[in-house]
Copies of this chain bind each other. A is one copy, B any other.
Amino acid sequence: MTATLGRDVVTALLAANLQLTRGGFTLDVQLTLAPGEVLALLGPNGSGKSTVLDLLAGLATPDTGTVTLDGATLTAPGRLVAPENRAIGLLGQEPLLFPHLSARANVAFALRFGEARLNAAPARVQADRWLDRVGLAGLGSSLPGALSGGQQQRVALARALAAGPRVLLLDEPMAALDAETAPFIRQLIREQLAETGTSAIIVTHDIVDAVVLAHRVAVLHHGTLIDEGTTAAVLAAPQNPFVAALAGVNLVVGTAQNGAVVAPDGRTFRVRPADAAALSPATPGAEAPAPAAAVFRPASVVVHTEQPRHASPRNVWSARVRGIEPGSGGVRLRTSGDPEVIAELTPAAVADLGLQVGSTVWLSVKATDVSAYRR
């Protein structure tokens, strides 16, 4: 085994090297996952994301290749540890609730026969707690057939989390959730993974999921990983149109301070009021700065050639233009700083302002346009 993309294999919890051909589709993927790490697996429809998860969970066998967890071989030529003995959980693309069991019993099943091995009575109690957490209090006795699509998805998610595996594979876990619920569920997944130290791979079509939930992003295309790295790095330099379509965000990974995010280079990003609260320490007073991330779209970055005044943006700083590149949504301006910030402008604006590589510019972003998350 060799280091993959610069990551030390010694730290890898899960390591996979998978080859598979199915009709005209060929998959060839190497990936690793560190303990507690969350990887977002992105890629267009039919690129093989669900197939990778199936192979990792032991629900499918690769033509060649291996899967190891904590050094133990799970999949290898002639060897396939059964899914139930892998400690790898999978929430598939369809909720697939057991149709003969109530919502409560579905979740209790995971608590009784998953990691926790609870008895029937405590499993029921815990199951109700889980249903409460996904916003389904009171629906515990409903059979899956009497639940709406989004409700089923939430039960399935609760069930997958409740099983308590060492590695959790989530295939579009936020699909079918309503706009009001989605952020809460996203937060729930984040907290649950962090609290239990569970490693996870999350398949998603929503870049927000990747930014909020994942430490690292891998992009699958026609069965091969075409891009891989920290979320910020991948988004900052999209390697193909798919990633570009997904990307379109600036990501500042820094520390939380007084409801704002401080970048490594000291810039302070004020964030929208709703998120600012979450960034403030629960108990006021001296506290180690918590890691946090701020996210805003390149299109939200206003570029000035003079220092802006009398304007609403809370975040204003100056930087130098590092690069001017055509992008899918206009012209992309890379500006100096740690991290670099991308601004997206129309060609007309670039011409108007006479921008060139090396120009000094003032950048502003409205706080209400900046989302933030604790990491």
Contact = CB atoms under 8 A, between A and B. Distances in A.
A367 B346 contact: yes
A277 to B, nearest CB: 12
Interface stretch (A57-65, A79-87, A162-170, A268-276): A268-276
A45 B273 contact: no
A310 B299 contact: no
Contacts of A289: none
A300 B367 CA distance: 10
A353 interface: yes
A245 B328 CA distance: 27
Contacts of A299: 272, 300, 366, 368-369
A2 interface: no
Contact of A44 (B172, B180, B310): B180
A300 B366 contact: yes
Contacts of A358: none
Nearest to A174: B205
A330 B245 contact: no
A128 interface: no
Contacts of A175: 175-176
Nearest to A142: B23
Interface stretch (A115-123, A145-153, A225-233): A145-153
Interface in A304-318: 304-306, 308-314
B149 A172 contact: yes
A348 interface: yes
B180 A176 contact: no
Given A151-B45, A303-B312, A346-B270, A330 B180 contact: no
A22 interface: yes
Contact of A179 (B205, B303, B304, B344): B205
A65 to B, nearest CB: 20
A347 to B, nearest CB: 7
A278 to B, nearest CB: 13
A273 B347 contact: yes
B304 A302 contact: no
From A45, A93, A146, residue with most partner B Cβ within 10 Å? A45
Contacts of A49: 148
A367 B330 contact: yes
B366 A312 contact: no
A207 interface: yes
Interface of A: 22-23, 43-47, 49-50, 93-94, 142, 146-151, 154, 171-172, 175-182, 205-207, 241-242, 245-246, 270, 272-274, 297-300, 302-306, 308-314, 328-330, 343-350, 352-353, 364, 366-369
23 contacts: A22-B146, A45-B149, A46-B151, A93-B176, A149-B171, A150-B205, A179-B246, A272-B330, A273-B329, A274-B328, A274-B329, A274-B330, A297-B369, A300-B366, A300-B369, A302-B311, A303-B311, A304-B312, A306-B310, A312-B345, A329-B368, A345-B366, A346-B368
Given A45-B178, A311-B353, 11 more contacts: A43-B178, A44-B181, A45-B154, A45-B177, A47-B148, A178-B242, A180-B246, A272-B330, A302-B313, A302-B364, A306-B309
